[in-house]
Amino acid sequence: MQELLNNIVAELAEETERGKVADYIPQLAHVDPSQFAISLATVEGERFSAGCATTPFSIQSISKVFTLTIALGKLGDALWSKVGREPSGDPFNSIVQLEHEGGKPRNPFINAGAIAVVDAIMMGHEPKETLGEILSFVRYIADDNSICFDHQVAASEMQHKDRNASLAHFMKAFGHLRHDVDKVIGTYFHQCAIAMSCEQLAHAGLFLASDGVNRPSNLRVVSPQRARRINSLMMMCGHYDASGEFAFRVGLPGKSGVGGGILAIAPGRGSLAVWSPGLDKYGNSLLGTRALEMFAQRTGWSVFGH
Ligand code: DON
């Protein structure tokens, strides 16, 4: 396995077409696009990494997997009255569907859906408490208390909030958001600004690969049914309007972020994190997707086999 990861890193190091680093969040535009990392945490407790796997990066939309898990823990199936669970076929920041569908976002991974999810988590709490809750949960599943928010990234996103603020106002107009728009999107920007390395992220995703149980602690995070459902959503919606393409090429539940990270789950086997900051036109990591495709092909770990 270690040799396989080393080979992927070596092969992709030669690649000159590395995609485009996100610049609509100015703080992300400073990231060096030549960086690359891959980590695997297996359900048996093994850890393999190659590249700069201890370098923290902005997890961005990957955080939506963790806030979905928290919201399901709080609301259970009642969450589905606030957000749907169908692929959108639209870009991550699209507003069009909201008007057609009465302000209810299609799924928890598009921006509108993630904003509705964090609004649900905030119920009965001050924004600061919600942020503490999200960070504690991520630290718990990664078993690492050093994980933090990158406040500069959060501030940078707040300065360029117009698009997400529009989504939030639109949902609020339909009665789908309870809290003050700036408080909700401020919380959302912070969750996206959590900084993690591939090693930390692979560990954090492990409960989804092992029927809801964290490893090596063996502590249950969610039920097996909930782990299966979150994985299904990642497979169908985790890459927005490129989710079909990701399933076709990789065949694993996956969630991308505009920081260039992807978390992919091989159920029963392990959790994979990749990071390459350059994105494709859909906002998903160009070489990160390629690396996962190489991994799936060489291991046969796709949920659909070889
Ligand atoms: O709201 C945004 O636009 C970002 N904080 C997150 C978007 C994102 O990561 C989309 N993923 N590929």
Picking from 143, 158, 192, the residue at the C-terminal end of a domain is: 192
Parallel/antiparallel/unpaired status of strands 148-149 and 194-196: antiparallel
Report yes or no on 21 lying in a domain. Answer: yes
- In a domain? residue 304: no
188 & 217 share domain: no
Residue 225 lies in a domain: yes
Task: Tell whether ligand 1 has an atom less than 6 A from the beta carbon of residue 67.
Answer: no
Residue 232 has what pLDDT?
98
User: Count of domains in the chain?
Assistant: 2
Minimum-distance ligand 1 atom for the alpha carbon of 256? 12
Residue 177 backbone class (left: φ over 0; alpha: ψ -120 to 50; beta: rest): beta
Q: What is the dihedral of CA 47, 62, 124, 115, to 10 degrees?
A: -170
- Residue 52 sits in the same domain as residue 162: no
Please, what is the angle between helix 162-173 and helix 181-192, to 10°? 130
Q: Which of 192, 214, 246 is the last residue of a domain?
A: 192
Q: Could you tell me if residue 305 is inside a domain?
A: no
Ligand 1 pocket test, candidate residues 67, 88, 192, most atoms within 8 A of CB = 192
Quick check: is 258 catalytic? yes
Probe target for ligand 1 pocket from 59, 111, 162, 234, with the most ligand atoms within 8 Å of CB: 111
The pLDDT value recorded for residue 43 is 96
Catalytic member of 39, 49, 58, 61 = 61
240 is catalytic: yes
| Cα separation, 176 vs 198, whole angstroms | 35
157 is in an annotated binding site: yes
Assessment of whether the complete model's pTM goes beyond 0.85: yes
63 ligand 1 Cβ < 6 A: no
Q: Which residues sit opposite 50 in a β-bridge?
A: 38
46, part of any domain: yes
Judge if the beta carbon of residue 187 lies within 6 A of ligand 1: no
Q: Are residues 123 and 173 in the same domain?
A: yes
Task: Kindly report the CATH number assigned to the domain that includes residue 295.
Answer: 3.40.710.10
Residue ranges in the chain modelled with pLDDT below 50: none
Query: Of the candidates 192, 224, 246, which is a domain's last residue?
Result: 192
Whether residue 37 is contained in a domain is answered as yes
| Domain of 186, in residue numbers | 63-192
The residue from 31, 43, 117, 188 that is catalytic is: 188
